[in-house]
Amino acid sequence: MAALRKLPSDAAPAAAPPRGRLGTVAWMTSLGGVYGRLPLKAKIGLAILGVYILVAIIGPLLAPYSPDATSTQSIPEAPNIHHLFGTSATGGDVLSQILTGTRATVVLGLMTGVIATFLSVLVGTAAGYLGGYADEGLSLISNVFLVLPALPLLVVILGYLPHTGEVPTAIVLSALGWAWGARVIRAQTMSLRNRDFVLAAREVGERPWRIIVFELLPNQIGLIAASFVGTVLYAILTSVALAFIGITNFSDWNYGDILYWADNGSAVQLGAWWWYMFPGMATAVLGMSLVLINFGLDELSNPRLRSSRSLRKLGKRSWRPADPTPVILDYVEGSL
Amino acid sequence: MAFIARRLAFYVVAIWSAVTINFLIPRVMPGNAVESAISRFQNLTPQVVKALEIEFGFHPKGTIFSQYLQYWNNVIHFNLGVSTSQYPTHVSTIIGQTLPWTLTLVGVATVLSFLIGTLLGVFTAWRRGGAFDRALPALMLLQATPYFFLALLLIQAFAVSLTWLPFGQGYSLGLSPGFNWSFISSAITHSILPAVTIIATSVGGWMLQMRNVMLTTISEDYILVAQAKGLSTRRVMFTYGARNAILPNIAGFALSLGFVVAGALVMEIVFSYPGVGFTLYNAVTSNDYPLMQGIFLVISIAVLSASLLADIAYAFADPRARSRSAF
């Protein structure tokens, strides 16, 4: 494992010595460098996500049938050569519905991720950097948003906006999903605020927004990325759940819409497993890829979290970097 | 106890926000909730239409501020209006019938999931690279799985294919709720699949967080010292390690409760479980705005109260929290 030979501080951008001002080129190189050093988990996650994004772009062209197609049959058809993923009770091709719906699902997730992360960064850095009353107020607001149960509130709000499209849904999801990221980014900003390079920039007379954008943000890019990925996961799972309840637009074939029709058409009671299994697995694998990416980002900033991969063999025993019982086990083995 | 006082103040603000959001939603949303309710239900009497209009702020009497005070007065007296889909039942009556189901099921399942997950996290960290650690990716898949999808799979496996367990409703048809064995046993067998769904999807989160904090804790010197002294493994693991590593999990409990409840609401819809989630679903599909808003309010208050309890537990578990100011 190449990752093993690197020192922990080398592999962790969050713990790396703070760099000062970064130009555009430096930003790009630093992002490229991060990708090269990503743990295996993050690389697998990114590869899966890449496939989904590709399907989101070209999926509707690949779909063999129209997702809205209906036939005169009244029972769902099991997977066969014409319908690889089977059909719904009204004859809709499940594969085509998934290929078409990937776009709505992924776009909604990414859109919410971008809007909510922007809000998180804005509130988090402002609260952490300004301190005082601004911090108290902004933290209070974000903590209130954290403890309010988001899904019932979403259901109520979207209940008033029935069958809306992606953009209003993404805006409502973002409005309720930014608080966690803001909290994490605020904590990191507070720990960076009094480092020498920030104090120096302030001494030189840099304006606050310049310090935030060019000194603070580049040093928490890993945290912002993790917050983005977490928000996308939240947005995808929530939007699929909302579509499953049946309060968003049916025509965009979000994975939740397919599941909504499957549940409405008693797919389980009919034994039509393909009708809900494929869209459900599509959601789960997409979610899994995001969880994997976040695991990788976590391990990058905290090497202790690496699991069995970081075992080292010394003699016949394998040692773990933070093995709790080296003394005793060694003694017992020696005496045997 | 300054910590608890501060937390109390925070939850007062949070509840105030929930009530205020609830007051504002019908007043800032496009479209006329009353008209859609009226067009849907032709049999509403003029009094009910008038009551709905006042409740949702159409043809308002007085300023927005006096409406707001009136709204607070109603909330404090638990007067949440009349359901339009189950007219003329009061919203508070409907919630009173459904809330116990959800509180029992979600409460028991959440506590079980927290205990199991935390315990598994302790063992996983202690035996890093062991069987549990290798199973983590599978648990991550569960974590990324929508609740309702897992619920569908469980129904397919245990209710449709194997017919071991019933599904749908909270108890068998033909029984009436009461304190007798046939009803209680029926309610318990009906709640097994929903509870397993909640536990399976949320246990991974607790386990992962516990594992990660525990890994950091057991590499501390005092753990090594405790082992060098010859204390039993169990004592070191729980009294020295887990006792200190559990704090973030307790603190996280308050914050993740909202997610657990949200998942449980959707799960209820799949199982047609007679709790507030299923009622919320019915309210949405029948445009029953008073019921929707009443349910949001009650869920918010329940979640906030549980979070407050978790915070108080945290203050008892962590002496530092009592002296530190934290919002």
**Do residues B26 and B293 touch, judged by C-beta distance below 8 A?**
yes
Nearest CB partner across the interface for A139, out of B21, B143, B327: B327
Minimum Cα–Cα distance from B156: chain A residue: A268
Whether a cis peptide bond, with omega within 30° of 0, leads into A64 is: no
Residues B82-139 pLDDT 10s? 777 776 778 888 888 888 888 888 888 888 988 998 898 888 888 877 777 777 777 7
Do B109 and B188 contact (CB within 8 A), yes or no? no
Q: What is the mean pLDDT of residues A24-28?
A: 63
Largest CA distance in chain B: 81
B-chain residues near A161 (CB < 8 A): 29-31
Of the partner residues B30, B216, B227, the one whose CB lies closest to the CB of residue A325: B227
Provide the residue ranges of all domains of chain A, joining segments of one domain with +. Answer: 39-73+85-302
pLDDT at position B232 is: 86
**Which of B147, B255, B295 is the closest to A146 by Cβ?**
B255
pLDDT above 90 for A114: yes
Contacts of A242 (CB under 8 A, 6+ apart): A151, A154, A155, A158, A169, A248, A256
Phi, psi of A319 (to 5 degrees): -105, 145
Q: What is the pLDDT of residues A276-295, one digit of tens each?
A: 888 888 888 898 888 888 87
A79: left (phi over 0), alpha (psi -120 to 50) or beta: beta
Reported as a pLDDT band with limits 50, 70 and 90, residue B277 is confident
Q: What is the pLDDT of residues A29-42, one digit of tens each?
A: 666 666 666 777 78
* DSSP state letters, B216-269: HHHTSHHHHHHHHTT--HHHIIIIIIIHHHTHHHHHHHHHHHHHHHHHHHHHHH
CA distances from A119 to A2, A126, A228 (A): 37, 10, 11
- Mean pLDDT computed over A64-88: 73
Separation between Cα atoms, residue B96 and residue B98, nearest integer Å: 6
Average pLDDT over residues B267-281: 84
Predicted pLDDT of residue A335: 39
* A324 exposure class (CB count in 10 Å sphere: 0-12, 13-18, 19+): buried
CA distance A15 to chain B (A): 16
CA separation (Å) from A303 to A13, A297, B135?
11, 10, 20
Interface test with A, best of B21, B28, B132, B266 (most A CBs within 10 A): B266
How far, in Å, CA of A319 to CA of B128, rounded? 10
Distance CA B227, CA B225 (A): 5
> What pLDDT is stored for residue A112 in this prediction?
92
Name the residue among A140, A240, A262 with its Cβ closest to that of B146: A240
Residue B190, CA atoms < 13 Å, CB-side half-sphere: 24
The residue of chain A with its CA nearest to that of B213 is A305
> Under CATH, to which class is A39-73+85-302 assigned?
mainly alpha
What number is the average pLDDT over the span B35-59?
A: 65
Residues in chain A: 336
Per DSSP, which regions of chain A are E strands? 312-314, 317-319
Tell me the C-alpha distance between B40 and B298, whole Å.
26
Per-residue pLDDT band at B33 (split at 50, 70, 90): low
Q: Which of the residues A160, A233, A275, A332 would you substitute to probe the B interface, choosing the one with the greatest number of B C-beta atoms within 10 Å?
A: A160
Q: How far apart, in Å, do the first and last CA atoms of chain A sit?
A: 33
Model confidence, pTM: 0.78
End-to-end CA distance of chain B: 14
Kindly report the average pLDDT of chain A as a whole number: 75
Rounded distance, CA B93 to CA B83, Å?
Answer: 10
Residues in chain B: 327
Task: Report CB contact under 8 Å: A152, B216.
Answer: no
Residue A4: pLDDT band (50, 70, 90) is very low
The average pLDDT across A297-306 equals: 68
Task: Select from B165, B147, B173 the least CA-distant residue to B269.
Answer: B147
CA-based nearest residue in chain B for residue A283: B145
Tokens of residue B62, six digits? 């007085």
Inter-residue long-range contacts of B35-41, CB under 8 Å, 24+ positions, other chains counted: B36/B287, B37/B84, B37/B287, B37/B288, B37/B289, B40/B84, B40/B286, B40/B287, B41/B84, B41/B85, B41/B87
Which residues lie below 8 Å from residue A335, measured CB to CB, with a gap of 6+?
Answer: none
For residue B31, the SS3 value is coil
How many CB contacts within 8 angstroms connect chain A with chain B?
196
Bridge partners, residue A317, by sequence: A314
* The dihedral sign for the CA sequence B119, A41, B256, A286: negative
Taking an 8 Å cut-off on Cβ atoms, the answer to whether A160 and B129 are in contact is: no
Phi (first) and psi of residue A93, to 5 degrees: -80, 115
Average confidence (pLDDT) over B305-320: 80
Contact A288 B262 (CB under 8 A): no
